[in-house]
């Protein structure tokens, strides 16, 4: 735990005491530090509202100003249980009982500041004086222990920073993130909607469906260039297959299950099994490898808890740019290099330039928990690390975080606000070829097991589009915008010229529309700006006479009178180059 996390952990205790003092009868649960802040869960006798926040903050600042030391003691479980039981703090009692049952502990940590005692392992700062600027942010519902069958608590989110300046900068980022919220912009731009009748599933409106098609077409074309072969597999598969893969035992709680004619089926949460069945239909030669089977339109379903659903970021129905690559052990490293390069190419094409890399490896102290040989693991982990480094990437190695069947490399993009989003996942699998008896004939004429690479480069289209919306605040680059150009005739006499401009642009594949509503020009410009249309072409008498257009950007900051042919050339070039911005001409040439 770093210094900032330690301070926020301490601030969580300070907030807990403030809430307990403010609301008699409040019970405390847990309060960890999290990214950018901390939270604490409470069982409250009344609703806590934003009107309470200033008073909570005042009570927190009083504790901070009092320079109360954080005192650590070790208590026997009997003493700690009796203490919290006497206070009616049933959540702390349950935590103690779980520690005894699951970890066989005899003693627990207690931290005290002032007259407030809490069950805690720490660490904490030396005193409340070391806690900087604080702010209570919001409340949310949270099930105790994350179990929807348990009672719902009130989770109070807050943040703490070393200085007021850092706090204000953070709050400004939060406000900017709120302005970019993809759920709000999705409605404004008429991209997608959500309905309670199908929670966790997006309804793609015409603009959103077109945006998605643009992305899918680009991704599909790039896969074809690199030798991927597209497949499609069924949505439901017999229970026996999920048992064979191990998903039934390990993942059934996240699957939707259905029955027909006394047979039980799993609705697929991932595409793996279909790819294995297709590969296993015949015996392959080493000359066919690597075999890249891409399922780019496979609809997946995962039974996420309703309380965790969050717009496009956490859904129950989604599609991934999913691929399973079957490769010989000798060809693994070369193919991994190709996959990493492909992933970086796609992410950069969408305008991302900053990446965080995570390398999940096995726990060297508990290798028996992981399938495959020591040689397989060592070679694969070293290859992923070496390949990332050779591309200027410095992976953060996460020991023990690997899946039991192989190491993986994850690429997170950082958006314009510096927030990380996981997109690319490259997962090596030593287990699936054994479970599904997958083989190939090697150059020696013998039968060998391939290695499987599971990989998704942009991840789910749903989540990726949500990231794009927030990254660009809905103002997509020209090549991605569902509507690229809107033509605005000033008066009815300019409509015929407007239609001719529309036809010229459409002929070159530009997505264009004429807005000849009988609204004032400024009202139509404002509507186009609200819909974040990149380019507006205003047509009046001068433009008709000179066969030009008056170009206006969605920002409203730049205007120029340009020839139609010159503008068309620039637009087509910007789309073909997937440029983030359009080179704006400054004259009629």
| Residue that is written with structure tokens 């004259």 in the block | 587
**219: enclosing H helix or E strand:** helix 206-225
CA-based nearest residue to 153, from 47, 50, 53 = 47
Which residues partner with 193 through β-bridges?
203
What is residue 308's predicted lDDT score, i.e. its pLDDT? 78
**The pLDDT value given to residue 588:** 42
CA-to-CA distance for 252 and 244, rounded, in angstroms? 13
List the pLDDT tens digit at each of the 589 positions of the chain.
Answer: 789 999 999 999 999 999 999 999 999 999 999 988 999 999 999 999 999 999 999 999 999 999 999 999 999 999 999 999 999 999 999 999 999 988 888 999 999 999 999 999 889 999 999 999 999 999 998 889 888 788 999 999 999 999 999 999 999 999 999 999 999 999 999 999 999 899 999 999 999 999 999 999 999 999 999 999 999 999 999 998 888 888 888 788 888 999 998 899 999 988 999 999 999 999 999 999 999 999 998 899 998 887 778 899 999 999 999 999 999 999 999 999 999 999 999 999 999 999 999 999 888 777 777 777 888 888 888 889 999 999 888 899 888 888 888 889 999 999 998 889 999 999 999 888 988 999 999 999 999 999 999 999 999 999 999 999 999 999 999 999 999 999 999 999 999 999 999 999 999 999 999 999 999 999 999 999 999 999 999 999 999 999 999 999 988 776 678 888 888 988 999 998 888 776 554 444 3
Model-level pTM greater than 0.85? no
Record the tokens describing residue 500, joined without a space: 């001719």
pLDDT of amino acid 540: 93
Which superfamily does CATH assign the domain made up of 184-233+268-472 to? Bira Bifunctional Protein; Domain 2 (3.30.930.10)
Q: What is the mean pLDDT of the chain?
A: 91
Residue owning tokens 């013998």: 446
- Say what the pLDDT of residue 306 is: 77
Q: 531: buried, middle or exposed (CB in 10 Å: 19+, 13-18, 0-12)? A: middle
Q: What is the pLDDT of residue 1?
A: 75
Q: Residue 325: what pLDDT?
A: 96
Percent of the chain whose predicted confidence (pLDDT) is above 70: 98
* Share in percent of the chain as helix, strand, coil (round to 5): 40, 30, 30
Query: What is the location of CATH 3.30.930.10 in the chain?
Result: 184-233+268-472
Contact in structure between 296 and 230 (CB atoms under 8 Å): yes
Q: What is the pLDDT of residue 559?
A: 67
Q: Say which residue the tokens 């693991």 belong to.
A: 377
In this structure, the number of other CB atoms found within 10 A of the CB of residue 145 comes to: 16
Location of structure tokens 């070293």: 382
Per-residue pLDDT tens digits for 163-209: 999 999 999 999 999 999 999 999 999 999 999 899 999 999 999 99
Torsion angle of C-alpha atoms 8, 12, 13, 15, degrees rounded to 10: 130
Domain 3-177 grouped into CATH 3.40.50.720: no
Question: What pLDDT sits at residue 589?
Answer: 39
Alpha-carbon gap, residue 174 to 179, rounded angstroms: 9
CA diameter of the chain: 92
And the tokens for 348?
């950069």
Q: Hey, which CATH number is domain 485-576, 3.40.50.720, 1.10.1740.10, 3.40.1350.10, 3.40.50.800?
A: 3.40.50.800
**CATH 3.40.50.800 residue spans of the chain:** 485-576
pLDDT of residue 253: 82
Cα separation, 589 vs 586, in Å, equals 8
- Residue partners of 287: CB distance under 8 A and separation at least 6: none
Q: Which tokens is 8 given?
A: 């926020």
Q: Which two tokens stand for residue 340?
A: 């990493």
Helix (H) or strand (E) segment spanning residue 116: strand 116-119
**If you write DSSP's letter for every residue of 368-429 in order, what string do you get?**
GGS-S-HHHHHHHHHHHHHHHHHTT--PEEEET-SBTTB-EEEEEEE-TTS-EEEEEEEEEE
Query: What's the confidence (pLDDT) of residue 486?
Result: 96
**Number of neighbours of residue 169 by Cβ within 10 angstroms:** 12
The pLDDT value given to residue 70: 96
| DSSP state for residue 140 in the 8-state scheme | E
């Amino acid at each position: 735990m770093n210094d900032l996390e330690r301070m926020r952990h301490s601030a969580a205790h300070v907030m807990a005491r403030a809430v307990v003092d403010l609301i008699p009868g409040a019970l405390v649960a847990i309060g960890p530090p999290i990214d950018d802040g901390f939270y604490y869960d409470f069982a409250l006798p009344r609703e806590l509202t934003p009107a309470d926040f200033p008073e909570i903050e005042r009570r927190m600042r009083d504790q901070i100003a009092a320079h109360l030391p954080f005192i650590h003691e070790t208590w026997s479980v009997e003493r700690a249980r009796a203490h919290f039981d006497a206070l009616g703090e049933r959540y702390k009692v349950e935590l103690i009982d779980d520690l005894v049952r699951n970890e066989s502990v005899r003693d627990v940590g207690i931290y005290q500041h002032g007259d407030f005692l809490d069950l805690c392992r720490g660490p904490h700062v030396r005193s409340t004086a070391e806690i900087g600027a604080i702010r209570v942010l919001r409340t949310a519902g949270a099930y105790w222990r994350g179990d929807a069958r348990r009672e719902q608590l009130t989770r109070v989110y807050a943040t703490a920073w070393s200085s007021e300046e850092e706090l204000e900068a953070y709050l400004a980022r939060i406000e900017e993130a709120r302005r970019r919220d993809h759920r709000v912009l999705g409605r404004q731009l008429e991209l997608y909607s959500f309905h309670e009748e199908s929670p966790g599933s997006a309804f793609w409106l015409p603009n959103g469906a077109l945006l998605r098609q643009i992305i899918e077409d680009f991704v599909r074309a790039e896969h074809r260039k690199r030798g991927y072969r597209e497949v499609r597999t069924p949505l439901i598969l017999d229970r026996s297959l999920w048992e064979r893969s191990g998903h039934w035992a390990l993942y059934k709680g996240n699957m939707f299950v259905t029955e027909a004619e006394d047979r039980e089926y799993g609705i697929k949460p991932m595409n793996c099994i279909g790819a294995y069945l297709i590969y296993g239909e015949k015996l392959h030669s080493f000359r066919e490898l690597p075999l890249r089977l891409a399922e780019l339109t496979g609809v997946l379903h995962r039974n996420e808890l309703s309380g965790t659903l969050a717009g496009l970021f956490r859904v129950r129905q989604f599609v991934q740019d999913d691929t399973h690559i079957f490769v010989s052990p000798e060809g693994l490293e070369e193919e991994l290099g190709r996959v990493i390069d492909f992933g970086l190419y796609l992410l950069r094409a969408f305008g991302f330039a900053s990446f965080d890399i995570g390398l999940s490896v096995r726990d060297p102290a508990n290798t028996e928990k992981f399938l495959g040989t020591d040689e397989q693991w060592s070679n694969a982990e070293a290859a992923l690390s070496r390949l990332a480094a050779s591309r200027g990437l410095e992976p953060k190695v996460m020991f023990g975080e690997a899946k039991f069947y192989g190491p993986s490399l994850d690429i997170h993009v950082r958006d314009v606000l510096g927030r990380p989003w996981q997109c690319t996942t490259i997962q090596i699998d030593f287990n699936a070829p054994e479970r599904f008896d997958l083989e190939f004939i090697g150059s020696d004429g013998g039968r060998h097991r391939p290695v499987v690479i599971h990989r998704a480069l942009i991840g789910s289209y749903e989540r990726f589009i949500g990231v794009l919306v927030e990254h660009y605040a809905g103002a997509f680059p020209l090549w991605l915008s569902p509507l690229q150009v809107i033509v605005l005739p000033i008066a009815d006499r300019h409509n015929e010229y407007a239609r001719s401009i529309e036809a010229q642009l459409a002929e070159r594949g530009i997505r264009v529309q004429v807005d000849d509503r009988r609204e004032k020009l400024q009202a139509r410009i404002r509507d186009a700006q609200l819909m974040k249309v990149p380019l507006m072409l205003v047509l009046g008498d001068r433009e008709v006479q000179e066969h030009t257009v008056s170009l206006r950007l969605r920002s409203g900051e730049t205007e120029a009178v340009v020839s139609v042919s010159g503008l068309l050339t620039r637009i087509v070039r910007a789309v073909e180059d997937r440029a983030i911005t359009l080179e704006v001409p400054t004259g009629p040439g």
